[in-house]
Amino acid sequence: MKTDILSMTFGELSDEFVFLGYPKFRAKQVYEWLHKHLVSDYDEMSNLPKNLREELKEKLPIHCCKIEKKQVSKLDNTVKYLFQLHDGDFIESVVMKYKYGYTICVSSQVGCKMGCAFCASTLGGFKRSLTAGEILSQLYTAQKDIGERISHIVLMGMGEPLDNYDNVMRFLELVTDEQGVNISMRNISLSTCGIVPKIEELLSKHLQLTLSISLHAPSDDIRSGIMPINKKYSVDELLKICRKYTNETSRRISFEYSMLSGFNDTYECARLLASKLKGMLCHVNLIPVNEVAESPYKPSTPERIEKFIDILSKSGINATVRRKLGSDIDASCGQLRLKENKNRKKGDKI
């Protein structure tokens, strides 16, 4: 952590500069270069003397993401990046354009431990958690590449953000810093498979972000069949903390529900879901599952999804189908890394 300069808060960076014997104002200059001007090379920091730049390269290297591959959807201009980290690992980010601006979906880990049956991130295996700087660097690199300000962030890429709690909290602190890239906490969504004690910890911070819960099923027997985390924290335990969350923060929770044909899309599921969410300040996002080659699940039919929404709406639960962006470029989390690692194993030319 000590030498990971992109993960340091302004206070930590100032202390580090004092410790290294540099004047404090240099810390402010470097911090602004990194987090306001998104510079990733000391040589671009034109107001620093050359000898200081050389020393900093040695002492505090900047570990930023490099674009390994970039795909642009022909359908909707969604951009998917495969980034390489300084140690060679791959992660993915997706930039989407909405009416209100650009949104980036960032990864929080290399791979994932959570084991959700329909998700490509799990299939690729878990390698490690990302530092705050590595999460930030996805935003910085993408923003510089597209040449437009990215105003919204969703922590919905590879990995489970609440399984990397401390680094994700540090990322949130840095990305919302007025001295830095200054993204509003209200423009950030964090998605979790439901690690209940960590949701409780997050709640105690009373942040203005949007909490998304990957629910995907209204009952334990169905949910445990696709999400191992449910064996640890049941649907009812999860929904209990969600109610507490919305009551105490007055923030609407977003429930993600991937529609898996014949599995969790029955009318009975819709009715049970409606009864469990009744009266909660929430929204249900239905997602026709993105097919992953290695997984047996197929997306529900549009008619089935319509009917599902209808049942929820009649019970007063707000539900919509998520617009599917980037479906021609493997934009579902973990798909690109999975392909890349397989190709490399096979020794294919990339």
Note the residues at the interface with ligand SAH (CB under 6 A). 114, 116, 118-119, 156, 160, 191-193, 214, 256, 258, 287, 289-290, 292, 332-333
Would you give the end-to-end CA distance of the chain in angstroms?
Answer: 33
Identify the CA nearest to 311 among candidates 286, 281, 280: 286
Amino acid code (one letter) for 324: K
Note the maximum CA span of the chain. Answer: 69
Identify the CA nearest to 79 among candidates 91, 90, 88, 69: 69
CA–CA separation, 341 and 88 (whole Å)? 11
The single residue of 65, 105, 119, 333 carrying the catalytic annotation is: 333
Q: Which is nearer to ligand SAH, 191 or 210 (CB)?
A: 191
CA–CA separation, 157 and 161 (whole Å)? 9
Q: Which is nearer to ligand SAH, 118 or 126 (CB)?
A: 118
**Catalytic (active site) residue 268:** no
Closest approach of ligand SAH to the CB of residue 200, in Å: 17
Identify the CA nearest to 131 among candidates 14, 10, 36, 1: 1
Q: Which is nearer to ligand SAH, 139 or 333 (CB)?
A: 333
CA–CA separation, 131 and 160 (whole Å)? 13
Closest approach of ligand SAH to the CB of residue 332, in Å: 5
Identify the CA nearest to 133 among candidates 167, 161, 156: 167
Q: Which is nearer to ligand SAH, 16 or 134 (CB)?
A: 134
Q: Which is nearer to ligand SAH, 7 or 258 (CB)?
A: 258
Closest approach of ligand SAH to the CB of residue 305, in Å: 13
- With beta carbons less than 8 A apart as the criterion, state whether 91 and 110 touch: yes
CA distances from 309 to 3, 36, 85, 269 (A): 50, 43, 41, 11
**Catalytic (active site) residue 333:** yes
What is the CA angle 80-43-136, rounded to 5?
35
Strands 150-155 and 128-129: unpaired
Q: Which is nearer to ligand SAH, 16 or 163 (CB)?
A: 163
The single residue of 16, 92, 134, 256 carrying the catalytic annotation is: 92
Residues carrying an active site annotation: 92, 333
